[in-house]
Structure 1
Amino acid sequence: MASFTHRFLLFFSFLLHCFTNIFPVLGFRSSFALFPVAKDAATLQYVARISHGTPLRSSDLVLDLGGSFLWMDCDYGHVYSSSRLISSCSVNCSRAKSHDLGKRSCLLNTNCYVFPNNGVTGLASTGELVEDTIAVDTVDLLKVGTTTTVDHFLFSCAPTFHLQGLASGAKGMLGLGKASISLPSQLSSSIGHPQKFSLCLSSSTGVVLTGNGDAIFGTKTARSLIYTPLVIKQNDYFIHVKSIKIGGRRLSFHVGGKLEAKLSTIVPYTKMESSIFAKFSKAYVEAATRMNVTRVAAVAPFGLCFSSKGVVGNSMPGIELVLQSEMVKWRIEGRNLMVKVREERMCVGVLDGGWEQSSPIVIGGHQMEDNLLEFDIESSMLGFSSSLLFKGTTCSSSLPDSNLKHFI
């Protein structure tokens, strides 16, 4: 954990010192807002850092792709004079609870309470809604490399015990869902960029970016994305999988319509419902056998492991998620698929999610790493690059390789 924290702090501090101009957000329009992300080696969670309060102070938050809003433990450290509690009868309280299906009460002279969810443990608690200032790294049309302060940013306080299960040092979670007070929604209305965000996760340092990503990832990469319809249920993001291919051969599933696949930054590895995983597992072993790869004893939590002796490069069977047509496929192979667990032993990073898994497929963080994913909420489309590794870059190296190099 020490090395993770040190690497993260160096990376973030380097960026922060490059973004030197701070000015009010009123009247300002930016193409994007940037938040560096590091992967915690112990929990395999993705941790972003935000700066908030007056004076500015940093907090590490675990990314939750389906989270409704930002929540943090407000009990640690000192209380900011800039933090303001929100009244239960205010417009902002109604805005925060717009996604709640239950009855919304309003009592004069009472605070607004919401229900922050710990996406890792699945537990919810009661927290007060507050507003404060946050600082975001942006690019102005006229200035390259600025830090913008956003006032009246809404988030929830949560009790300290709610941090259970989160990466060491994390003070809460950063929600990226469609809710009206999620990070992308608030920055879209405050800074004036499109209601979209991009993820480029990595085993080291990546980024979450709200707005247009061309300035960071480059026009060539951003415009080479393949698009598929994005299904949004409450705050979770799904895509429909028409079929699955292993080593070019289609799996046969006796299910009506398309398979629903949820995207998650909380789940480390892709999970399949048991009946789907059984067929996937059988087909994958057959494909590996055809390539003369030997199956070996499984290593928890993985169910499919193979000997890496004699295996060169990406000579393991790859997976293709066929989406709306044969022309639209998400390729998962190489480092995005295989996980080295021991000397001369590697495992497929796809797990049996059990019979009760709510979604047939949950695409986990490992499969999303070094993929540029663009969540266009306005048009309900997901843009994806498939692995950047086959394009000679990664989510880590794409940052200095882009226009960001002008101020790094």
Structure 2
Amino acid sequence: MASSLLSLLLVCFVFHINPPVSGRPSLPNAISFPVTKDETTLQYTTQIHMGTPHSPIKLVVDLGGQFLWIHRASSFLSSSHKPISSGSLHCSMASSHQSGTVTRVVATNTICSLNPENTITKLATSGQLAEDIMAVDYVEKRKMGAIPTVHPFLFSCAPSVLTKGLASGAKGMLGLGRTKISLPAQLANAFGLERKFSICLSSSEGVIFSGGGGGGTDISKSLMYTPLISTPLEEYYIHVKSIKINSKRLSLNKSLFSTRISTILPYTTMESTSYDALARAYIKAATSMNMTVVAPVAPFGVCFSSEGIENTPVGPAVPAIDLVLQSEMVKWRIHGRNSMVRVSDAVMCLGFLDGGLTPVASIAIGGYQLEENLLEFNLATSMLGFSSSLLMRQRSCSNLKLSESQ
């Protein structure tokens, strides 16, 4: 089921597509991708089908990744694999997204090359730009199906060393960043889709929709919105104006926090002084609710006994955390399901970590806090739509995929 939902070619990154072929079904509203969570690494993975013959490729989902890359040996097995020359338009397009030293394109022996990066291990290396074919699964008027024709896409091939640290079986990374060569941008160009995509992560089965908001789900029509802010790395950032615990504002040194959204970080991290303030305030709010502090369990800094804690539809009954965005009326509420991590039958820990004194972002919202939340990234308007926990509506990302898109 999960593997069939996403037949999309991952040749590491796409730009080019042939004109529509006569006889092809009507173009879709959205393209869908299944997402599962690797229990060992806590990474979110998907599977695409690419090449000739079509082969399943497992990839780690990187929300901020600039493009798609795969293990070189996997792509070379395809008879439709084509290297891209250094003097081509495609090579020029690949260089148009350069941001500092993160990625650069060079010509080596007439083959266009760029530097794919494993954003988990921070290792980057040289890889060849190539083209191959893919098939996709689509969402059209709340129905799902497969487009049988294949489409040429560009991608970067990487040496096997770059796959170290990825979830077992993963052959590369699926980049969804704010670039012209990321997967959402290329799918929009390929199928005439809206320039937006949505993610709905889960501890079991989630989904990515590229194109129409939330794959056309009813939940996507009731999202709250906040601006996405520009960054040199083209990742997804928002501004957080304040943080509240049980509706009480934290006393923090800053009045505006640059906040990154990441599928690579398993848990939310915060700059040290802000984390310390959060931890103190959370412990105070928790003990006022008769929660018992216990010894911390790495990597967490604040833990509690789970004895006597009531379970609710949105997780354990613990203090709520609000990320207040552009106004008091726009806030991202984090309930117990997304704030508490159960580390044993008797202990649960606050899923926020100390990110050090000089992190890249003051706050980085990690995967655990994103789970069971529908997030819509509108690239045309530079806005983020968010639902807060779907569990409040007796829904989940798993049944969103199964029922909402049908």
TM-score of the alignment, normalized to the shorter chain, above 0.5? yes
Change (3 A) 1:105 1:325: closer
Q: What does the per-residue CA deviation read over 1:5-61, in whole Å, with 9 as the maximum and x for residues that have no partner?
A: xxxxx5324787xxxxxxx86165321011111100000000010110111111000
CA distance in 2, matches of 1:25, 1:142: 25
Residues 45-95 of structure 1 deviation map (CA, whole Å, 9 limit, x = unaligned):
000101101111110000001101110002148621201101111111111
Q: Which moved more, 1:393-402 or 1:359-368?
A: 393-402
Deviations along 1:150-176, whole A, 9 cap, x unmatched? Answer: 422111000001101100000000000
Query: Offset at 1:232?
Result: 3.3
Structure 2 distance, partners of 1:25, 1:148, is 15
* Cα offset, 1:355, TM superposition: 1.2
Q: Deviations over 1:253-303 (max 9, x none)?
A: 122x41111000000000001011011111111111111111000000000
Contact 1:271 1:353 in 2 (8 A): yes
- Aligned to 2:343, the other structure's residue is in SS state strand
1:223 partner SS: helix
Which residue number corresponds to residue 36 of structure 2?
38
- 1:63 is matched with 61
Give the distance between the partners of 2:272 and 2:351, measured in 1 at CA.
15
Which residue pairs with 2:20 in the alignment?
26
For 2:328, the equivalent position in structure 1 comes to 326
User: Relative to 1, partners in 2 of residues 1:15 and 1:351: Cα closer, same or farther, differing over 3 Å?
Assistant: closer
Deviates more, 1:203-212 or 1:143-152: 143-152
Letter of the 1:259 counterpart:
F
Cα separation, 1, equivalents of 2:230 and 2:109: 35
RMSD across aligned C-alpha pairs, in angstroms?
2.1
What count of residue pairs does the alignment treat as equivalent?
A: 385
Partner residue of 2:73 out of 69, 72, 75: 75
Listed as ranges, the matches of 1:297-312 within 5 Å are 297-312=295-310
TM, length-normalised to structure 1:
0.90
1:192-211 matches, within 5 Å, as 192-211=192-211
For residue 236 of structure 1, give the secondary structure of its aligned residue in structure 2. Answer: coil
SS in 2 for 1:342: coil
Query: 1:321-360 alignment to 2 at 5 Å?
Result: 321-360=323-362
The answer on whether the counterparts of 2:267 and 2:368 sit within 8 Å (CA) in structure 1 is: yes
Amino acid at match of 1:248: S
Indicate the larger mover: 138-147 or 86-95: 138-147
Correspondent of 2:84 among 79, 82, 86:
86
| Structure 2 residue 5 is matched with structure 1 residue 11 | no
The 1:373–1:14 alpha-carbon spacing in structure 2 relative to 1, beyond 3 Å, is closer
Stretches of structure 1 lacking an aligned partner (at least 5 in a row): 1-9, 17-23
The alpha-carbon distance between structure 1 residues 156 and 259, as it changes in their structure 2 partners (threshold 3 A), is same
Q: Choose 230-239 or 198-207, whichever is displaced more.
A: 230-239
SS of the equivalent of 2:359 reads coil
**CA deviation digits over 1:216-248, x for unaligned, max 9?**
5x22x1111000001132321001001000011
Structure 1 partner of 2:11: none
SS, match of residue 253 in structure 2: coil
1:243 and 1:129 mapped to 2: Cα distance? 43
- Contact 2:36–2:46 (Cα < 8 Å) also in 1: yes
Q: Cα 1:396–1:141, aligned 2, differ >3 Å: closer, same or farther?
A: closer
TM-score by length of 2: 0.90
Whether the 8 Å CA contact 2:6–2:49 is kept in 1: the answer is no
Most deviating of 336-345 and 136-145: 136-145
In the aligned structure 2, how far is the partner of 1:338 from the partner of 1:294?
14
For 1:191-270, list aligned pairs within 5 A: 191-213=191-213, 215=215, 218-219=217-218, 221-233=219-231, 234-255=233-254, 257-270=255-268
Q: Is the 8 A contact 1:25 1:148 kept in 2?
A: no
Checking the alignment, whether the CA contact within 8 Å between 1:25 and 1:150 is kept in structure 2 is no
Per-residue deviation, 1:141: 6.0
| Contact 1:140–1:146 (Cα < 8 Å) also in 2 | no
CA 1:162 to 1:286, structure 2 compared with 1: closer, same or farther past 3 Å? Answer: same
Hey, what's the Cα distance between the residues in 2 that align with 1:270 and 1:194? 30
CA pair 70-107 structure 1, distance change in 2 beyond 3 A: closer
Q: Secondary structure at the match of 1:11?
A: coil
In 2, the alpha carbon distance for the partners of 1:188 and 1:398 equals 22
> Please, which moves more after superposition, 25-34 or 273-282?
25-34
Counterpart Cα distance in 2 of 1:397 and 1:162:
34
Residue 135 of structure 1: aligned partner: 135
The correspondence of residues 85-124 of structure 1 with structure 2, limited to 5 A, is: 85-101=83-99, 110-124=110-124
Counterpart of 1:373 (choices 375, 387, 396) is: 375
Q: Which amino acid aligns with 1:34?
A: S
Q: Secondary structure at the match of 1:276?
A: helix
Q: Would the aligned equivalents of 1:71 and 1:174 in 2 still touch at CA under 8 Å?
A: yes
Question: Does structure 2 retain, via aligned residues, the 8 Å contact 1:308–1:344?
Answer: yes
Decide whether aligned partners of structure 1 residues 342 and 106 sit closer, same or farther in structure 2, where only a CA change above 3 A counts. Answer: closer
- What is the rounded CA distance, in whole Å, between the counterparts of 2:384 and 2:303 in structure 1? 31
